[in-house]
Amino acid sequence: MAVSLLDKFIVVFALMLVVLAFSSWRGDSGIAMTFEIRNGSDATAFPLAQDQVISISGALGESEIEVRDGQVRFLRSPCTNQFCTLAGWLKKAGDMAVCLPNGVSLRLVGGRQYDSINF
Amino acid sequence: MSVDNSSSTRLRLQPQAEDYLIAKLAALAICIHVIESALPSPLPGVKPGLANVITIAVFFLYGLRAAIWVAMLRVVVGSLVVGSFLTPTFMLSLAGTLCSLLVLMLLSPLRNWGLGPLGGSVLAAMAHITGQFLLAYWLILPHEGLFVLYPPLLALSLVFGVITGLISYQLLKKTTH
């Protein structure tokens, strides 16, 4: 009995199973068709299919939101920390980016959304 | 009406040598299980499963039947000692153990092809967590969101499977020389 070749194959195989599990079960495989911009209490939906740059006015000024190739991001924002722009491209349903100082948030809509799990 | 009480019809059960062996191995597994359940774990309900070192070693030393006995005794008696018999925890443990034993049964022929404690332990550990998730989905939390937890716990079961497999391997090296 030793750590045989078969054992090593099994460990590699098991690693592949784990990777497979991560890629199929990571959240919900929702394809987003629209995204939603919230400005305070106003929420507007936009299609992801149309490439454009949208300007939203918030508490601090104008946030620019870019839509390209079915993805969305904060292009520019008047906040100091720039967490929103640093979030980068939003791709999957449920992905979100928020500019709290300016009061603007982006969210991709689609798939099944889990708010919480209750009995 | 007469009742025949002659001793020739009375059944006597004598423990065989195999029974003593299984009992000793199961007792060892139960002790490890109980001690390990006293240790704190960062994630609730997630344990390295060190008692499985015994189960896997038994599988390779004494075969599948012995491993099944030791594993099932460990689950039932371990839960009696810890006080979780027939609780949902016990059900999860039982489901996991049954699945890992099923996998060991399916892997049995591979022993001739070089299957060792490392490989057996890894696949049994992953079967264990999978069985627990299936039971949890069926009886406890029938919501697909449950499976969001599956990939990280599966990865963890691979890690712990490797660890217990390596310990088992060292144990077998020392006992078969």
| HEC-encoded secondary structure of A12-60 | HHHHHHHHHHHHHHCCCCCCCCEEEEEECCEEEEEECCCCEEEEEECCC
Q: Between chains, do A11 and B116 touch, taking CB under 8 Å as contact?
A: no
Residue B118: closest C-alpha in chain A = A7
Q: What is the pLDDT of residues A18-34, one digit of tens each?
A: 999 888 755 455 567 78
Q: Is A26 on the interface with B (CB under 8 A)?
A: yes
Write down the pTM of the prediction. Answer: 0.67
Q: Between chains, do A3 and B118 touch, taking CB under 8 Å as contact?
A: yes
Nearest chain B Cα distance for residue A112, angstroms: 10
Q: What is the pLDDT of residues B86-130, one digit of tens each?
A: 999 999 999 999 999 999 999 999 999 889 999 999 999 999 999
Contacting residues for B6 by C-beta, under 8 A, at least 6 apart: none
**Closest partner residue to A6 among B119, B165, B172, by Cβ?**
B119
Q: Tell which residue, A49, A93, A92, A97, has the closest CA to residue A77.
A: A97
Q: Is B64 on the interface with A (CB under 8 A)?
A: no
Say if CB A39 and CB A104 are below 8 A apart: yes
Q: Is the ipTM beyond the 0.95 threshold? A: no
Q: Tell which residue, B177, B174, B176, B169, has the closest CA to residue B52.
A: B169
Nearest chain B Cα distance for residue A96, angstroms: 18
Chain B partners within 8 Å of A5 (Cβ): 114
